[in-house]
Amino acid sequence: MVRADHARAAAARRAVLRWYRQRARELPWRRSKDPYSVWVSEVMLQQTQIETVIPYYERFLQEFPTAARLAKAPLERVLELWSGLGYYRRARNLHRAAQDLVLKHGGQFPGDLKQARSLPGVGDYTARAVLSIAYHQPFAVLDGNVARVMARFLALRGSLPQPRFRRTLEENLELLLSRRSPGNFNQALMELGQTVCLPRAPRCPSCPLRRWCRAFRLHNPEDYPEPRPRRQTEECYLAAAALHGPRGMLMSRGLDDGLLDGLWNFPSALGPSGSEALARLKQKLRSGLGTAPPLKEPEHQLRHSITYRSIHVRIYAGEWSGKAPRDGFRWFQPQGIERAAVSQLTRKIARKLADADMAVRRDPYRAARRQAILPNLVAGNNLI
């Protein structure tokens, strides 16, 4: 088994902590060791770039500075502040977990690993990260960045889904972990993976671990770790209805096929072909509205990806002035879409429609040649 010896581990530990003290970035969640703030940051940072997270984190903490405030908030408001960040299950779990904290833990994130892991959406990584950073407990954390640093440090073949590879990394991390500063040590390794030990073209001359890094000595750091197997991308089609009425734009809760539940979207349906997606959309409208309004041939298309799906989106314009929509439907004023709990796909569609409408307004000859897609979609301003 690949293993770092104690002397090598101690020297490497000191080097990486010294580097972190000198080079750590000023990030908003590092200004406080409050367990709640640390927990929110760790949830937001899952599968999301730091630069993207920062404004969301600051807005979220401003509105929900404590678990008690978050627990009392309507889920709709939580999703509004999360809108655009993606992976919305994280927001729903965060909300549910905050309610558990209030009911079972006095509003405080527990300092016990088993209790922390019992919270909705809190897995082993998140629990260990919060306990090490906020409570200074000696737990090592293993994410993709740390795995890359450690695989190169050890010149270890494999990838995280492989049990033996993961077990070897965890054992070596326990040897390397600083018992005095576990939180700083964990953040140092994550920072190293984010800024220096990059997947491609790693900045080895700037790395505090290069003296002990076996991959560096072998001159092949990019060979570690091996790429993890990826699910094959699936091509599919989405028919989206841009229905305009006297009260604005008609939106429906959720997208389709269980995707984006809890968020507002243009009424949509997925299918293996454009025609099948359109047929399912019409059925969805008949079920929700009692009838399917006439839809124009799509003038706008775009591409969007959700997890393993590569989606061809076709936008069908129409009008709806019938009875008030049933549950699961709601009117939105175009100017309010960007502030609502909507998906990123909804934002893209709204932007597409707004840009097209603005182009028509700027070209009176074009407007005369064809009907405006949605005559009152934008009152002189872009949506986004």
DSSP at 230: -
Domain-ending residue, one of 159, 189, 223: 223
Angle at 126 between CA 125 and CA 129, to 5 degrees: 85
Query: How far apart, in whole angstroms, are the C-alpha atoms of residue 309 and residue 313?
Result: 12
206 and 244 both lie in a single domain: no
For residue 25, the domain's CATH number is 1.10.340.30
Question: Domains in the chain: how many in total?
Answer: 2
Query: Does residue 123 form part of some domain?
Result: yes
The predicted-structure confidence for 247-259, as pLDDT tens digits, reads as follows: 899 999 999 988 8
Residue 379 banded pLDDT, cuts 50, 70, 90: very low
246 and 197 both lie in a single domain: no
pLDDT above 70 coverage of the chain, percent? 92
Residue 324 banded pLDDT, cuts 50, 70, 90: low
The mean pLDDT value for 6-28 works out to 94
11 and 93 both lie in a single domain: yes
180 and 42 both lie in a single domain: yes
pLDDT of amino acid 378: 38
The residue that leads in pLDDT, 230 or 363, is 230
Active site residues: 42
127 and 51 both lie in a single domain: yes
18 and 167 both lie in a single domain: yes
Query: Does residue 383 form part of some domain?
Result: no
pLDDT above 90 coverage of the chain, percent? 75
Q: Of 200, 210, 191, 203, which Cα lies nearest the Cα of 146?
A: 191
Query: How far apart, in whole angstroms, are the C-alpha atoms of residue 133 and residue 145?
Result: 17
The mean pLDDT value for 159-169 works out to 95
Cα torsion angle, 52, 101, 145, 159, sign: negative
The predicted-structure confidence for 68-118, as pLDDT tens digits, reads as follows: 999 999 999 999 999 989 889 999 999 999 999 999 999 999 999 999 999
73 and 129 both lie in a single domain: yes
Is the pLDDT at 370 greater than 60, yes or no? no
Query: Does residue 214 form part of some domain?
Result: yes
Kindly report the average pLDDT of the chain as a whole number. Answer: 90
159 and 256 both lie in a single domain: no
Query: Does residue 382 form part of some domain?
Result: no
243 and 162 both lie in a single domain: no
Query: Does residue 229 form part of some domain?
Result: no
pLDDT of amino acid 162: 94
For residue 247, the domain's CATH number is 3.90.79.10
Residue 3 banded pLDDT, cuts 50, 70, 90: low
Domain-ending residue, one of 169, 201, 223: 223
CA atoms within 13 A on the CB side of 158: 17
DSSP at 342: B
The predicted-structure confidence for 206-230, as pLDDT tens digits, reads as follows: 999 999 999 999 999 999 999 888 8
Query: Does residue 80 form part of some domain?
Result: yes
The mean pLDDT value for 131-152 works out to 97
Query: Does residue 68 form part of some domain?
Result: yes
Domain-ending residue, one of 162, 195, 223: 223
The residue that leads in pLDDT, 378 or 93, is 93
217 and 258 both lie in a single domain: no
The predicted-structure confidence for 52-69, as pLDDT tens digits, reads as follows: 999 999 999 999 999 999
The mean pLDDT value for 135-139 works out to 97
The parent domain of residue 263 ranges over 234-369
Residue 375 banded pLDDT, cuts 50, 70, 90: very low
171 and 282 both lie in a single domain: no
315 and 214 both lie in a single domain: no
pLDDT of amino acid 172: 95
Query: Does residue 107 form part of some domain?
Result: yes
pLDDT of amino acid 384: 30
Query: How far apart, in whole angstroms, are the C-alpha atoms of residue 45 and residue 274?
Result: 35
Whole-number Cα distances in Å, 184 to 34, 101, 129, 189, 356? 15, 26, 10, 9, 50
Query: How far apart, in whole angstroms, are the C-alpha atoms of residue 100 and residue 107?
Result: 8
The predicted-structure confidence for 288-320, as pLDDT tens digits, reads as follows: 888 889 999 988 999 999 888 999 999 999 999
